Amino acid sequence: MYKSDRDALLLTPGPLTTTLRTKQAMLHDVGSWDTTFNSVTANVCSELLKIAHGEETHVCIPLQGSGTFSVEAAIGTLVPRNGKVLVPDNGAYCARILKILRYLGRESVELSFQENQAVSAQAVAVALDRDPGITHVALVHCETGAGILNPLEEVAEVVKAKGRRLIVDAMSSFGAIEINVKQLSIDGLVAASGKCLEGVPGMGFVIANQSSLESSAGNSHSLALDLYDQWQYMQKAGQWRFTPPTHVVLALQEAIAQFNEEGGALARLQRYTNNCKTLISSMATLGLKPFLEVPSQAPIIVTFHAPESSSYDFRSFYLAVREQGFILYPGKLTQTETFRVGCIGAITSTDIDKAVNAIASTLRSMKVID
Amino acid sequence: MYKSDRDALLLTPGPLTTTLRTKQAMLHDVGSWDTTFNSVTANVCSELLKIAHGEETHVCIPLQGSGTFSVEAAIGTLVPRNGKVLVPDNGAYCARILKILRYLGRESVELSFQENQAVSAQAVAVALDRDPGITHVALVHCETGAGILNPLEEVAEVVKAKGRRLIVDAMSSFGAIEINVKQLSIDGLVAASGKCLEGVPGMGFVIANQSSLESSAGNSHSLALDLYDQWQYMQKAGQWRFTPPTHVVLALQEAIAQFNEEGGALARLQRYTNNCKTLISSMATLGLKPFLEVPSQAPIIVTFHAPESSSYDFRSFYLAVREQGFILYPGKLTQTETFRVGCIGAITSTDIDKAVNAIASTLRSMKVID
């Protein structure tokens, strides 16, 4: 039987659909020690720093591995061994930070919110007042567990006013939502190649305040994840300490070029917002309701309540939609049955329309809707 | 001016020159949660286990990041917190293991050898007898600092006889030199995608003895580098815990297919040995002598003494050879001026001949040789 060799579109929180141009940048083998590759690394870092508005105050340290490796590296390097970290928690990625802190033996304080509720800056202020021992706050900007956008600017203001330091997991927002690390006095901002920058997965990076990083020698629990050591070596040699994922770095450079051509974070946000609005309004015509209220919904990934019909099950639904060329994502909530649809990657609202058509015809043939 | 867009051949310890077929496998975006990708991961792991002869006794745990991330993960996971590790040290990668142990706060004993001398199994036996507190030995199989092949089988025999456990950094040998993890009772064998398997860099893996791994819960100092946790999750979900470098994994699957088509490790060793012999004999006609004696020279990378002429400097030499399409590698020895030429990757002795011709014409035009 004839089978198309076209890739399904990835409507997920990452890896994402990337452009052919980005993938084709990987058709080259380059030497990790060679000046050609060193200048790619330098160029990528300087572009990332520019996107974060950190040219005057911050440095960019790339790191091998998934984004979580960079989150752990940022915490392990920037938080002193006797530091204490407040973690506003409204989802799976916040919980992961708490888990990292337990592994690292750093003290932590959990500040819980509902899964459908954005973090409250006011509550962060109260928690900081209550415990003067807290040195850092670790905030997840876009919590893709449910798809919530947390109020980074308000939280940053509170953290600064209370004289503490801020680490931001901006994995799913960086490149789409403007973040100014200098203005917000962010100590460490963490993101990765395979999210809204639309590169391929395989490396993360930390935009770190230079003076914080300079005083972080000896903090790290790990050689591989020691950002201070990675930065020192790069400063000296212009190279990565350990074998870099050269093809991934080449793809990221090409992805950033396209990001700039598109018009930067503002243009990207517009496209994603358009994707998100199209998705929510078209799904509404099928009776599918988003889990979140509009104000806290990030235009990154949308969680939908599963249809209530007894003829629905996620597995069959997923496979039938995939058969039509669209990869959806399961829910990650503990209390409610949901599924997720991503709005990010090299896709437009036309693609979203097609996906919703596929979802509609699937639900019809499953007899979930008429 | 016209400039060729062909990539230079990488005569380095990695990243290496790979086939176009391997790189083209990366022209696809796949979902990390999707069954298609899960079966790629399962297939890659089962192939790696087969290459290591560990099907009955071992499991394969892939890990994001460079090979060093996997070395640190293997040590951090397999060595208990109160363990003590003997490190036979004859080069830069042995020194790196010692550095990892210091970061992790695990006790270590260094057993020093000269940089041009293979590790002696006899000396390992003496060291183990002297200190009954030593629980593990961490051996670098091919120490690419100088290019030495350490006697893995002899050391493994000693470690087993003395009732200790063995961790092997086989980064630069795995896929080219046969290793039987079951026969040699290896606790953890570490390698990576971008070396003799001829994939692209971006992930490592550990072939771990299953019962050792099963009793390693709680050892790890790091969430990201916890092999036990990674393995548990994969067993349960068939997926990586954190975003996998999907393109790198696709390339590795394609590289392993070609490895099998070539005839496995034996055929690959033959090709590399042929490359290495061609290199050494052709370089000899230019008066360039290898740093190592024949018996300890691995057919992976060859360290050459720098020409003694005062008109030689590595930088100019390197750039001129690169201009002709070949990337060489600097020396990594502390005492002697050297440079290195790799024999591995998707290259044949014909490529080596061309590279030596480029080296010859460069040295002539530098007036280093007549």
Spatial CB neighbours of A337, under 8 Å, sequence gap ≥ 6? A305, A306, A314, A331
**How far away is chain B from the Cα of A320, in angstroms, using its nearest Cα?**
13
Average pLDDT, chain A: 97
**How far away is chain A from the Cα of B4, in angstroms, using its nearest Cα?**
13
CB contact under 8 A, B248 and A245: yes
CB contact under 8 A, A7 and B30: yes
Residue in chain B lying closest to A35 (CA): B319
Q: Does the pTM of the predicted model rise above 0.95?
A: yes
Q: How far, in Å, CA of B183 to CA of B170, rounded? A: 16
- Tell which residue, B255, B254, B229, B251, has the closest CA to residue B242: B229
Structure confidence at residue A1 (pLDDT): 72
H or E segment to which residue A303 belongs: strand A301-305
Residue in chain A lying closest to B326 (CA): A31
DSSP code for A68: H
**How far away is chain B from the Cα of A224, in angstroms, using its nearest Cα?**
6
Provide the pairing of β-strand B84-89 with B142-143: unpaired
CB contact under 8 A, A244 and B99: no
Tokens of A360: 């509609």
Contacts of A247 in chain B (CB under 8 A): 23, 26, 200-202, 247-248, 251
Amino acid at B62: P
ipTM, two decimals, is 0.98
Spatial CB neighbours of A121, under 8 Å, sequence gap ≥ 6? A151, A154, A155, A157, A158
Amino acid at B83: G
pLDDT tens-digit readout, B168-206: 999 999 999 999 999 999 999 999 999 999 999 999 999
- Tell which residue, B200, B228, B225, B230, has the closest CA to residue B214: B228
Residue in chain A lying closest to B33 (CA): A329
Please determine, for residue A3, whether its predicted confidence score (pLDDT) is greater than 80.
no
What would the mean pLDDT of A242-270 be, rounded to a whole number? 98
**How far away is chain B from the Cα of A76, in angstroms, using its nearest Cα?**
9
Tokens of A287: 């009776």
Burial class of residue B125, CB neighbours in 10 A (0-12, 13-18, 19+) = middle
Give me the residue from A32, A64, A66 closest to B242, CB to CB. A66
Q: Which of B20, B66, B246 to mutate to test the interface with A (most CBs of A within 10 A)?
A: B66
Residue B16's CB: how many other CB atoms inside 10 A? Answer: 24
* Strands (E) located in chain B: 9-10, 58-64, 84-89, 107-112, 136-140, 142-143, 148-149, 165-169, 188-192, 203-209, 301-305, 326-327, 329-330, 338-342
**How far away is chain B from the Cα of A96, in angstroms, using its nearest Cα?**
9
Contacts of A104 in chain B (CB under 8 A): 221-222
Q: How far, in Å, CA of B253 to CA of B369, rounded? A: 45
Structure confidence at residue B2 (pLDDT): 80
Kindly calculate the radius of gyration of chain A based on its CA atoms and give it in whole angstroms: 21
Q: Which of A40, A63, A66, A250 to mutate to test the interface with B (most CBs of B within 10 A)?
A: A66
Please determine, for residue B3, whether its predicted confidence score (pLDDT) is greater than 80.
no
Contacts of B17 in chain A (CB under 8 A): 29
pLDDT tens-digit readout, A110-163: 999 999 999 999 999 999 999 999 999 999 999 999 999 999 999 999 999 999
Structure confidence at residue B335 (pLDDT): 80
What would the mean pLDDT of A352-366 be, rounded to a whole number? 98
What HEC string does A116-176 produce? CCCCCHHHHHHHHHHCCCCCEEEEECEECCCCEECCHHHHHHHHHHCCCEEEEECCCCCCC
Give me the residue from A10, A24, A28 closest to B31, CB to CB. A10
Please determine, for residue B332, whether its predicted confidence score (pLDDT) is greater than 90.
no
Please determine, for residue A210, whether its predicted confidence score (pLDDT) is greater than 80.
yes
CB contact under 8 A, B245 and A23: no
Helix (H, G, I), strand (E, B) or coil at B70: helix
Residue B85 contacts residue B109 (beta carbons within 8 Å): yes
DSSP code for B303: E
Please determine, for residue A22, whether its predicted confidence score (pLDDT) is greater than 80.
yes
Q: Which of A12, A70, A243, A248 to mutate to test the interface with B (most CBs of B within 10 A)?
A: A243
Residue with tokens 């870092």: A45
**How far away is chain B from the Cα of A157, in angstroms, using its nearest Cα?**
30
CB contact under 8 A, A222 and B225: yes
Structure confidence at residue A70 (pLDDT): 98
Contacts of A245 in chain B (CB under 8 A): 66, 200-202, 245, 248
Please determine, for residue B1, whether its predicted confidence score (pLDDT) is greater than 80.
no
Amino acid at A72: E
Q: How many Cβ pairs within 8 Å bridge chains A and B? A: 202
Structure confidence at residue A12 (pLDDT): 96
pLDDT tens-digit readout, A58-106: 999 999 999 999 999 999 999 999 999 999 999 999 999 999 999 999 9
DSSP string, A320-358: HHHHTTEE-EE---SSS-EEEEE--SS--HHHHHHHHHH
Q: How far, in Å, CA of B354 to CA of B265, rounded? A: 25
**How far away is chain A from the Cα of B122, in angstroms, using its nearest Cα?**
31
Contacts of B32 in chain A (CB under 8 A): 12, 14-15, 201
Spatial CB neighbours of B116, under 8 Å, sequence gap ≥ 6? B146, B148, B291, B292, B293, B296
DSSP string, B132-156: TT--EEEEESEETTTTEE--HHHHH
Identify the band that residue B5 occupies on the pLDDT scale cut at 50, 70 and 90: confident
Spatial CB neighbours of B33, under 8 Å, sequence gap ≥ 6? A12, A327, A329, A330, B239
Please determine, for residue B334, whether its predicted confidence score (pLDDT) is greater than 90.
no
Identify the band that residue A5 occupies on the pLDDT scale cut at 50, 70 and 90: confident
Give me the residue from B34, B221, B222 closest to A327, CB to CB. B34
